[in-house]
């Protein structure tokens, strides 16, 4: 490659879409010479034909058309997608920005295409928010050699090719603007014409399978990023709304012990692989030997942590889901604190998602020198260190939240020690494509065994507490797909998320003192556990168990309501 240096024409005043204020200074001459609009069309077609295989596979799978009608639908959607890409790029790119913008979009779109193709990831606002909130350790597990090779071939190489193109200069700004307007107008005509050509099948697809748009690359993540920015900006404008301003604790009788409740927020454990739910394998042997109540029909508020965690600790829940309202209001922990209950959030994940804002928080996400840690993360058991002693010294009521790393994928094999490797051969690779489905399930089930072990150790710690009446509630934030219908991991749009991603386990344990202080009929709770429940129950059940009175407590969502041996006492 050699370069030609030309002298800058200081007298030139041309600008706009067709100008090049740097002339040909330092530009390679080995690449082809193309106009900006031509380059936009070529890249738009590249997006359609090489970075949208997941989109077209979904169109074919979800359409009700057959034969020639299906072929016409695919051609029409391809034409519409290409024209939409031309519109997007035509609005984003001028002569000075076209190369960096196209190069960036090619690399990012190749990344999005990799995860859509291999894990069936839909890039809606919720998924984009997850990506933006992912920490380095979590992201590192997703960056495999297969990922780098795919992005290199489909993203980096084309981006380099774009950078090598010599852009034609236009001597007339007005003509350049008119050419761009004509390009955008032709794109609109193509969209309208293609939509008319396959109107019935296309309208049916859009009406019945709206989620398909979250696979259309790069418009999916561009639109979702814009939505996230808009929503987050709006959410930051107003003050946090107070929830339960009248919250008060029912006074304990003289000589009664205060309450100590541990809420364990599980990560990525699905109900289908939970031993206590009747799974073909016993993945919860230690819990099965304890006097726990297992809730077998629990539905999560979301298919990812970013949605589920704020939602389950909210008074509003999934019943009439409103993200802005949930994020803009106090959580269960704030209501407890107002009533006089001390709270603490211990985290081995990516934070409390606003649930513990301005409250006590301890992070265990950064590895330390400990037998429970490797160079990337610590096992959940580290959150138990020092907890018993610190609580025993506290004379009042306490609620502690333990937020697990749990079964977070795709590196399930990193979530359990050697002595809990029961199901083999297990997948020992972060690239799930390198393992059989059986190996993936084995690794996942071993990780469930680790959660079982963690919960059993937590319960044994609570049994030793002599200063408090103790209890534990465990509920997973969302489930996980393990290859069913070629879908992996989690985070599908809630409307189409399979049960494997939104059906989760929930378990409760209470000491004799906790049951007695609440006049609780445990058999009644066991009977209630067979009925459907959801994350919406957590907020109200914890308030009831901790004997907090407030007008926001909805007894119909309190899992303990009606399960007291004393008819005059209600939780």
What are the structural domain ranges in the chain? Answer: 16-233, 260-297+322-502
Q: How confident is the model at residue 30 (pLDDT cuts 50, 70, 90)?
A: low
Least confident of 112-126, 311-325, 379-393: 379-393
Least confident of 216-220, 311-315, 369-373, 488-492: 369-373
Answer for the pair 220, 112: CB distance below 8 angstroms, yes or no.
Answer: yes
Q: What is the pLDDT of residue 295?
A: 98
Q: What is the pLDDT of residue 115?
A: 94
Q: What is the pLDDT of residue 20?
A: 46
CA–CA gap between residue 350 and residue 363 (Å, rounded): 9
Q: What is the mean pLDDT of residues 221-249?
A: 87
Is the pLDDT at 475 greater than 90? The verdict is yes
The conformational region for residue 351 under phi > 0 = left, psi -120 to 50 = alpha, else beta, is left
Answer for the pair 481, 491: CB distance below 8 angstroms, yes or no.
Answer: no
Least confident of 3-17, 172-186, 252-266, 423-437: 3-17
Q: How confident is the model at residue 135 (pLDDT cuts 50, 70, 90)?
A: confident
Which neighbouring-strand residues pair with 489?
481
CA–CA gap between residue 360 and residue 397 (Å, rounded): 15
* Residue 363 main-chain phi, psi, to 5 deg: -105, 135
Q: What is the mean pLDDT of residues 416-432?
A: 95
Residues of the chain with pLDDT > 70, as a percent, come to 93
Is the pLDDT at 232 greater than 90? The verdict is no
316-346 pLDDT, tens digit per residue, is 999 989 999 999 999 999 999 999 999 999 9
Query: Under CATH, which number does the domain 260-297+322-502 receive?
Result: 3.40.720.10
198-218 pLDDT, tens digit per residue, is 888 888 888 888 899 999 999
Q: What is the pLDDT of residue 527?
A: 96
Is the pLDDT at 19 greater than 70? The verdict is no
Q: What is the pLDDT of residue 237?
A: 64
Is the pLDDT at 238 greater than 90? The verdict is no
Query: Which among 52, 330, 30, 254 has a CA at the least distance from the CA of 163?
Result: 30
Q: What is the pLDDT of residue 569?
A: 42
DSSP structure class, residue 8: -
Is the pLDDT at 127 greater than 60? The verdict is yes
pTM (two decimals): 0.86
Query: Which among 342, 345, 338, 349 has a CA at the least distance from the CA of 315?
Result: 338
Distance separating the N- and C-terminal Cα atoms of the chain: 78
């Amino acid at each position: 490659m050699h370069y030609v240096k030309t002298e800058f024409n200081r007298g030139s005043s041309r600008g706009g879409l067709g100008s090049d204020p740097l002339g040909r200074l330092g530009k390679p001459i080995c690449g082809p010479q193309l106009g900006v609009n031509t380059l936009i069309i070529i890249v738009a077609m590249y997006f359609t034909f090489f970075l949208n295989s997941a989109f077209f596979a979904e169109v074919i799978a979800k359409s009700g058309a057959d034969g020639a009608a299906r072929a016409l639908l695919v051609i029409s959607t391809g034409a519409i997608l290409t024209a939409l890409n031309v519109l997007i790029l035509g609005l984003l790119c001028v002569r000075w920005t076209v190369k960096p913008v196209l190069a960036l979009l090619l690399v990012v779109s190749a990344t999005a295409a990799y995860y859509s193709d291999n894990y069936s990831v839909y890039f809606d606002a919720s998924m984009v928010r997850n990506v933006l909130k992912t920490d380095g350790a979590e992201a590192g597990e997703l960056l495999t050699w297969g990922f780098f090779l795919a992005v290199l071939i489909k993203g980096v190489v084309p981006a380099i090719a774009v950078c090598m193109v010599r852009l034609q200069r236009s001597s007339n700004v007005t003509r350049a603007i008119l050419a761009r307007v004509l390009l955008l107008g032709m794109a609109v005509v193509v969209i309208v014409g293609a939509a008319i050509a396959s109107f019935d099948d296309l309208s049916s697809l859009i009406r019945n399978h709206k989620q398909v748009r979250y696979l259309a690359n790069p418009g999916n993540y561009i639109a979702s990023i814009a939505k996230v920015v808009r929503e987050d900006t709006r959410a930051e404008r107003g003050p946090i709304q107070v929830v339960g301003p009248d919250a008060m604790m029912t006074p304990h009788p003289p000589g009664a012990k205060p309450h100590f409740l541990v809420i364990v927020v599980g990560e990525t454990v699905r109900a289908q692989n939970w031993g206590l739910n009747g799974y073909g394998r016993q993945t919860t042997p230690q819990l099965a030997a304890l006097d726990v109540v297992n809730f077998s029909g629990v539905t999560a508020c979301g298919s990812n942590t970013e949605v589920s965690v704020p939602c389950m600790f909210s008074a509003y829940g999934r019943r009439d889901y409103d993200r802005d309202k949930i994020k803009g209001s106090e959580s269960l922990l704030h209501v407890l604190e107002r009533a006089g209950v001390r709270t603490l959030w211990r985290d081995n994940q990516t934070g409390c998602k606003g649930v513990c804002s301005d409250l006590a928080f301890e992070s265990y996400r950064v590895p330390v020198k400990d037998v429970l840690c490797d160079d990337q993360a610590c096992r959940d058991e580290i959150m138990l260190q020092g907890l018993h002693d610190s609580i025993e010294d506290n004379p009042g009521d306490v609620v502690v939240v333990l937020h697990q790393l749990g079964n977070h994928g795709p590196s399930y094999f990193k979530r359990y020690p050697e002595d809990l490797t029961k199901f083999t051969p297990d997948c020992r690779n972060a690239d799930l494509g390198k393992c059989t489905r059986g190996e993936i399930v084995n690794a996942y089930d071993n990780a469930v065994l680790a959660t079982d072990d963690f919960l059993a150790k937590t319960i044994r710690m609570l049994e030793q507490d002599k200063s408090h009446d103790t209890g534990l509630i465990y509920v997973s934030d969302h489930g996980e797909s393990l290859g069913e219908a070629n879908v992996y991991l989690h985070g599908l749009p809630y409307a189409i998320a399979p049960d494997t991603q939104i059906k989760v386990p929930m378990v409760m344990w209470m000491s004799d003192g906790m049951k007695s202080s609440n006049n609780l009929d445990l058999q009644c709770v066991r009977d209630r556990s067979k009925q459907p429940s959801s994350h919406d129950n957590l907020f109200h059940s914890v308030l009831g168990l901790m004997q907090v009175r407030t007008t926001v407590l909805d007894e119909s969502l309190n899992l303990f309501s009606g399960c007291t041996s004393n008819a005059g006492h209600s939780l």
